[in-house]
Amino acid sequence: MNFLKKLNREAWVLLSVSGLHAFSFSLSNAFVNVFLWKINQSLFQIGLYNFANYFAIALTFILAGWITKKVDRVISIRIGVALQALFYLTVLILDTKAVDYVVLLGFFLGLGNGFFWMSYNVLYFEISERDNRDVMNGISGFITSLSGMVAPLISGFIITKVNHFLGYRIIFGISLGIFVLSVIVSFWLKLRKSEGSFQLGKVIAISFKPKSNWFWVQLATLFQGLREGIFLFLTGLLVYFITKNELTLGSYYTAASVVSLISYLLLGRYLRPAWRIHAMLIATIMMGLLIIPFLIYWNIWTVMIYGVGLYLFYPFYYAPLTSITYDVIGEHKEAVELRVEYVVTKELVLNFGRLISLCIFLIIISKSPHITSLKPMLLCLGFIQIGTWLAARKVSPIAQK
């Protein structure tokens, strides 16, 4: 366990904040979509909710980036967690009327997500170093997987053992309390002020220069966003559509998270910078192949195989991309000074990709509301992460050493 000594006190505090966030997120996030579905059974409404969420995240990253640069990034993470706590309080108050306010609710959640992840990404870059970045990624993934293993099972059990809508109120209330606790823990992070002006336009311009490593990172991020726009919320819904049972949905996330936890343990322990691109290649191919049997015949077995397989290979796709991204930001002194702007532009591109795929989703669902009409789109998006690998391999190896 000597590799754990590579992380200092602040790294562990940041991991604690993100761990609480991950637990609360795993407890309720997937079930919010199911909750909205049970009220009026409209995929279009759920699509609008997630579209508003991604749109707000993109906008908020600009505002949060300015606050992070001009005030303090720790304050930004507190604002983000507090807003997410208020989101669940609002859902509790609205109850079944929440479906009438899906756009506002999605936008509100996006505000919280934007502030939280803006600050977390910058703090992650500042607290981690090249020699411990993969270790921190692995531990972060381990904590996230552990949360995903325990929290959904708790949620599914509570919802199925009491009146369903009362069960949803209980888990949303628990999430509210955990987010409040996360705000308290964040006070152990040292305040970190940035210097200089907010130069977002300068980094956006770099994103369009094909000779720069950042151009290829952004292109890789765009493909990542195209995939995530749909799969972040639809896979869990499909499990519920097939089983009609929240406990089975929670069990699905638990089984998948056990596999993910093992993957992140192996990744944190053994992955080296020289192996990142090779790991991504294997992961991208397997993530695509896994969706084929699921699209041919939808049942509980094919969805379980797809979900568990996805959680097995996704860490070997996501973690190397994250490490490469922050290595490129740390490549030059000027890039380090503009780290906030780099994080903002990365998230703008990521959420732009998510919004594109969600727009296609909404168009298809508006014309044919049956879930089977999405199969061609899901097949394309199931392999689109190959574009992430093709772009990532263009990054200069020097930036990854």
How far apart CA 275 and CA 279 sit, in angstroms, is 6
**Position 72 in a domain:** yes
**Position 380 in a domain:** yes
Residue with the two structure tokens 């130069």: 199
Q: What is the pLDDT of residue 223?
A: 96
Q: What is the pLDDT of residue 164?
A: 67
Q: What is the pLDDT of residue 214?
A: 92
Number of domains the chain contains: 1
**Position 1 in a domain:** no
Q: Whole-model pTM?
A: 0.86
**Position 2 in a domain:** no
**Position 339 in a domain:** yes
**Position 335 in a domain:** yes
Cα angle 24-115-19, degrees, rounded to a multiple of 5: 30
Q: What is the pLDDT of residue 251?
A: 87
Please check whether residue 54 is in contact with residue 229, taking contact to mean a CB–CB distance below 8 angstroms.
yes
Please report, for the domain that includes residue 156, its CATH number: 1.20.1250.20
**Position 3 in a domain:** no
Q: What is the pLDDT of residue 112?
A: 92
Cα angle 383-322-189, degrees, rounded to a multiple of 5: 145
Which domain does 269 fall in, by range?
A: 8-400
Residue 269: count of CB within 10 angstroms of its CB: 12
Alpha-carbon distances of 159 from 23, 171, 238, 246, 275, rounded to whole Å: 17, 8, 18, 7, 43
H helix count then E strand count, the chain: 15, 0
The DSSP 8-state label assigned to residue 28 in this structure reads: H
Exposed, middle or buried by CB within 10 Å (0-12, 13-18, 19+), for 295? middle
Instruction: Specify the amino acid at residue 251.
Output: S
Which residues of the chain are modeled with pLDDT < 50? 3, 400-401
pLDDT tens readout for residues 223-272: 999 999 998 888 888 888 888 888 888 888 888 888 888 887 787 777 77
